[in-house]
Chains A and B, each alone.
Chain A
């Protein structure tokens, strides 16, 4: 059976040469970059046999390296003063900074979304300010605040609040950009002011995403609060750094295993909640 063709079928478009050129360019650039910094595959393969590594003999003697980490002094690890309290402090930093960062992010995200920004100047100012904050790495914020307000958890909490804010506004404002604009039009048509119109017309649509992102930011903060401890911003990270400096690698390993278990548990809970939300 043949069908009468009213219109000629289009010819299949040829694969574009540009894609190949781009791919070749990327490969060439990767090889160039690797050579420039001395990254070669052979270095990785010959790790235990490098001529210019001063720790050659000590580090790569398998018996020796194992004895540095083993046995793990669990008594020391599960001591409240040594590890448990600093670990709790880490979680406290993560919780308070997630709360501060995510609360601030809620209004700012609406201000820097094209859909819900009240006016052009507020849009530009909030967008630029958030880009500047995000341009500074979280570790650098921590160092800056340790210098500014002193060593300890207080500086860490502020550093992570700023970090949470930066991550949160990026994720959430882009979600708002993609929200359905039509209920907002209805709210405006009913004579609503801007903020109530956004609150009633847009927020219910994007709120589940907001909660999901907040949980994700909390997960990030748990891990980030370990790292910022290294620069003196409180929490378990500081304990890891101190023990590392005095070569107590067995204690460090014990702490890392404990953190690993706790972080996995928290992530599983967070993932389970987020799945129900979206």
Chain B
């Protein structure tokens, strides 16, 4: 179980990214977070695994406090939380397998991973993670030689290799074309259902949010302005979250019809 209690994040320079967030997420939930660029979506995910330190409040995962945790405690929490990134964050110059093995960093002694002497059992975990996203045939290919969709599946495999109980996905499809976006969202939903991994996904596109999400969280200027079932969400809800009516840029389908790439925002939050 994940609990946010009165969580605020203020960046250096005084920008308030999150304000007084209260939130409880039960095990196995599939949560989609929406909001404009700069609304605090990315900060919300990064506060949970401590990549961004919360300035106030308490964040607990399965009872372990993240705010103010020591380096060792933080590593222990992070080992249970897989993360997927908008820009994949793969090491381009090495093999797909080596990238996925990075998910085993917390489980393998430092000297072994530093020397590249990964235990056979951990290689096996990595291979199984690649099989789960159907890309095991590329295990020994350089990451840079893959397409965007394949790279994101490697990113998912890397997170799965942690054998996590929580999966965070920060705009996982913002850099992908519409067809690939659906495949990646499908992978994430399947993993959530098959393995029962609690999943939090930041999404830019409202139609994807509606199609794949079950619980929807809306952020606006760092405030939590919506938290409810996707079934209850109407266009008015989105207008409320976005502070403006829905435009075609907010819909993946529209972006596909227009024949353009989905708008990628390099400095989104």
Contacts and interface: CB of A to CB of B under 8 A. Distances in A.
A185 B102 contact: no
B216 interface: no
Contacts of A200: 91, 98, 101-102, 105, 113
Given A183-B89, A201-B91, A189 B113 contact: no
Contact of B113 (A183, A185, A199, A205): A199
Contacts of A81: none
A197 interface: yes
B83 interface: yes
A197 B158 CA distance: 14
Interface string A173-204: 00000001011011111111101110111001
Given A196-B114, A205-B93, A186 B79 contact: no
B82 interface: yes
The size class of the interface chain B forms with chain A is 20 to 34
A200 B70 CA distance: 23
A205 B92 contact: yes
A131 to B, nearest CB: 28
Contact of B75 (A185, A192, A205): A192
Contacts of A187: 102, 105
B133 to A, nearest CB: 16
Interface in B132-162: 155, 158-159, 162
Contacts of A204: 91, 93-94, 98
A200 B106 CA distance: 12
A195 B105 CA distance: 10
B78 A186 contact: no
B76 interface: yes
B51 A189 contact: yes
A199 B158 CA distance: 16
Contacts of A196: 105, 108, 110, 113-114
Contact of B91 (A192, A193, A205): A205
Interface in A192-222: 192-193, 195-197, 199-201, 204-205, 207-208
B226 interface: no
Nearest to B93: A204
B83 A191 contact: no
Contacts of A186: 83, 85, 89-90, 102, 155, 158
Contacts of B103: 190
B93 A189 contact: no
Contacts of A195: 110, 114
Nearest to B86: A182
Nearest to B74: A191
User: Quick one: which of B77, B85, B155 has the most chain A CB within 10 A?
Assistant: B85
A196 B106 CA distance: 9
Interface of B: 49, 51, 75-83, 85, 87, 89-94, 98, 101-103, 105-106, 108, 110, 113-114, 116, 155, 158-159, 162
Given A186-B83, A188-B51, 15 more contacts: A182-B87, A186-B90, A186-B158, A187-B105, A189-B49, A189-B51, A190-B83, A190-B105, A190-B106, A191-B105, A191-B106, A191-B162, A196-B114, A199-B113, A200-B91
